[in-house]
């Protein structure tokens, strides 16, 4: 069953909330099985394996403390979301 854009927005808000508190388990709980995760510019490239995603978020939570984020745009597809956000900090 696909999620509505509103449900996706809620999930992304939860994801960012977990990132802000360095809660890697929470972040991982917001990613579906088989998720494709890509950060641009790509410091580590695309990740499709959950253990690789976890490793990325563990490194991120220890290395980067962000002050704020600026949402730029969101694109919705059938069962997919592309979020463009600028990190500050």
- CATH code (residue 40): 3.10.450.50
Q: What is the pLDDT of residues 1-50, one digit of tens each?
A: 588 999 999 999 998 889 888 899 998 899 888 888 777 766 667 777 88
Contact residues for 61 (Cβ-Cβ < 8 A; gap 6+): 19, 22, 24
Residue 72 Cα distances to 12, 45, 46, 64, 82, angstroms: 14, 21, 21, 20, 11
Q: Report d(CA 30, CA 5) in Å as an integer.
A: 15
Q: What's the pLDDT score for residue 61?
A: 77
Q: What is the pLDDT of residues 51-60, one digit of tens each?
A: 888 888 787 7
- Number of domains observed in the structure of the chain: 1
At 73, the pLDDT band (50, 70, 90 cuts) reads very high
Range of the domain at 29: 5-88
């Amino acid at each position: 069953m696909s999620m509505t854009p509103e449900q996706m927005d809620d999930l992304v808000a939860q994801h960012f909330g977990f990132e802000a508190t360095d809660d890697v388990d929470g972040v991982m709980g917001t990613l579906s099985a088989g998720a494709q995760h890509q950060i641009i510019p790509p410091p580590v490239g695309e990740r499709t394996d959950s253990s690789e995603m976890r490793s990325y978020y563990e490194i991120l939570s220890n290395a980067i403390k962000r002050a704020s984020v600026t949402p730029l745009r969101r694109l919705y597809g059938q069962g997919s979301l592309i979020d463009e956000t600028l990190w500050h900090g």
